[in-house]
Each structure stands twice: as structure tokens, then as C-alpha cells.
Amino acid sequence: MTRLLITLSLPSLLVCGLLLSGCGGESKAPQSTEVISPAAEKPAEPEAPAEEPEAAAEPEAPAEEPMPETTEPATEPEPEATPESEPEPASTPEPAETPAPAETTEPAEKEEPAEAEEPAADAGQSATDEDASVPVSVTLGAQPGGTTFKGRVTVQGTATSASPFDASKDPFCIDLGKLPDDTLVVGEGGGIGNVFVWLRKVPSGVDVPAVPEEPAVLDNVKCNFLPHAFAMRVGQPLFVKNADNTAHNTRISPVRNNAFNQTIGPNDRTGVEVVYSQEELVPIKAQCDIHPWMGNFHFPVNHPWVAVTDKNGNFEITGLPAGDLEFRMWHERVGYVERSIEVTTTEGETVEKSFEVDASKLAE
């Protein structure tokens, strides 16, 4: 009986154990669900790291930090600009540009008195020449050395320069106002301008210098001929030009050479050429048939020993041969001032003489 109970109790215990194990497993199942639920909740936790990208946006702040860095280098060039201001003191060497006063080296302007060198202007001059481009002398070819004859021609009595006059035919000339009359020029101390003085005859055996290639020029300027009086060499070209914005007719009536009569167009700076093949005995006249007040006297000679007095009556002839020489003197209002002036010179000597013209002979 006892064994039977033990025997029966063992299977019953096994059954109970199985039942209990099943109950225990059921109780474990909810534990497994409890494990599943935390596993399901864990995927929700990654959402927090999804918000972390917002923290990743924080690097934008460092992106703003470079901007102050860029501004700082921008300010740094400013000190580099300061060196540019330093060159300005380097530019202060502009005092070195004080050579500008060197341009004001008015000694060069003092060359203007070259117009005052009219005594040596053997070819001719005009008291009305205010245009530096207008020639006031002609190269005659005289050589340095030799002897010199110089002097002065003055008025005996009282005389004054001819009065300016009104132009009345050409609109261009009218606009110029009063025009000078160079037929009589009286300067300081009664000196008479535009008087021709020349060697009458070249002594035998004297070599005459060659004719210069440089041409003479007779210009129409401000409704006047310039120069008013000049000398030139036989065979030396003469160009008649026009600086005015109006036409001029130039008529020349020589005694020994061919006549010239031609219109010179406005602003003709090339000019029309005239060549004299023979010496004239006295100065010859050029005039404008369009503007009858215009006149000029020029003198073709076969040697270089001739001069025209400046506005103060001075003349000088250089490079003369030594010996006994004869000169003549002529003015357009008087004709011959002196028909024969005898001068005796030795090599290297300077002879000086003065001459007077009666005022009554200068009246028109």
C-alpha cells in the first residue's frame, strides 16, 4: 500500500510538475512580452539622435566666425595704404622739378633783343614786325673778318613817323583797325629807319662770297608787306607769301629784271618764287593792286655788302675788303640821301660815320 502510494505519487508529481512547468512557462511569456516592449520602445529612442542634426547645424556659427577673420585682413590693408602716403613725401622731391624755373631762364627770352640786332640785319627790317615768324633780315653771305663800316642816319630838324591810317577796301583789312605807315619811321633821337646803304662797286681783284641758298621772303601780313625794306643777292630766290585770310596781288616793276605781277591766295605759306638775274641800280618797289596802300622796297645786289637802317637809324656792314671804298645811301621818300660816301679802311679796322637828312626832304 505504501509502495502503491509512492508509485502513484510519483506520476502525479510528474504531472503536477508538467502542469506547473506549463504554468511557469505562461508566466514567463509575459516576461518575454515585457522584453519585446522595451525593444519596441528603443526604436523610438533614436528620434533623439535625429534631433542631434540640429546640433550639427551649430557648425553654421563657426561659419560666421570666418567673417570676422575676413574683416580683419580687410582692415590690415589699411596700414598698407599708409605706405602709399609715405611715397607722397617721396613726391615732395618735386622741388627737383624746380627745373620749371629753369624754363623761366629768361635769358632765352632775352634773345628777343635779337630783334634789336637789327643793325646787323643787313637785309632789311620793319618797325611793324610783331610776328616772330616774319623774317626781318635776309642772309647775304658776308664773311667774318675784314673791315667794318657802321653809322647812323638821323633827321635834321623835326620829323615824326607817318601816322597809321584806316583801311577802307577789304573787309578783312577793315577789321584790323588802323594800319601802320612804314614809309617814314623815326626812332629814338631822330634816327631814320629803312635807309639803304651799299657798296657801289666791288673793287677789282676782290673775291665775292657765294650766293646763299637760303631764300629771301616777302610776306603779306595784316594787309602790309613785311619786311618793308630789305636787300638780297642776285640769283638768290625770293618767295612772295601771304599770311592773311584774304588775297593780295603783288606787282614788282624792276628796271633791269623781268616784271612780276601775280595774285597770292589767302594763307599761301609756300609762296611764289621770284629770281633776279641782274643787279638793280636802286631799290625797287613792290605794291599790291588790291590794297593800294601796301608797299615794299627791296634791292637785288651782286655782293653782300649792303645794309638797311633799323628803326633808330643804325646800320653796320661787316666783312668788307680793305682799301678805298665808295658807298651810296637811299630812302624811298628822299631818293639818294648820299650819292657818294668815300671810306678808306685797313684790315680789321672799323670806320664809323653819322649822316643827317633835312626834315623837309622827308615830307610827302
Contact between 249 and 263 under an 8 Å Cβ cutoff? The reply is yes
Is there a domain that residue 213 lies in? yes
pTM: 0.64
Q: Which domain does 133 fall in, by range?
A: 121-362
Give me the tens of pLDDT residue by residue for the chain, a chain 364 residues long.
Answer: 444 444 445 555 554 454 444 444 444 444 443 434 433 344 444 444 444 444 444 444 444 444 434 444 444 444 444 444 444 444 444 444 444 444 444 444 444 444 433 333 344 444 344 443 333 457 787 777 789 999 999 999 999 999 987 776 688 898 888 899 999 999 999 999 999 999 999 999 999 999 999 999 999 999 999 999 999 999 999 999 999 999 999 999 999 999 999 999 999 999 999 999 999 999 999 999 999 999 999 999 999 999 999 999 999 999 999 999 999 999 999 999 999 999 999 999 999 999 999 999 999 7
Q: How many CB atoms lie within 10 A of CB 264?
A: 23
CATH at 172: 2.60.40.420
| Beta strands 178-179; 165-166: pairing state | antiparallel
Q: Is 208 within a domain?
A: yes
The span from the CA of 154 to the CA of 191, in Å, is 4
Cβ atoms of 317 and 150 closer than 8 Å: yes
Q: Domain count of the chain?
A: 1
Q: Report CA-CA distances (Å) from 262 to 35, 208, 252, 292.
A: 135, 33, 9, 15
Q: Write the CB contacts of 265 (distance below 8 Å, at least 6 apart in sequence).
A: 242, 247
Domain assignment present for 27:
no
Q: Identify which of 120, 62, 352, 303 has the alpha carbon closest to the alpha carbon of residue 200.
A: 303
* 240 falls within a domain: yes
220 occurs within a structural domain = yes
State the Cα–Cα distance between residues 175 and 14, nearest whole angstrom: 155
Are 242 and 199 in contact, with CB atoms under 8 Å apart? no
Task: Write the CA distances from 161 to 97, 130, 136, integer angstroms.
Answer: 48, 17, 19
- Length of the chain, please? 364
Radius of gyration of the chain (CA): 58
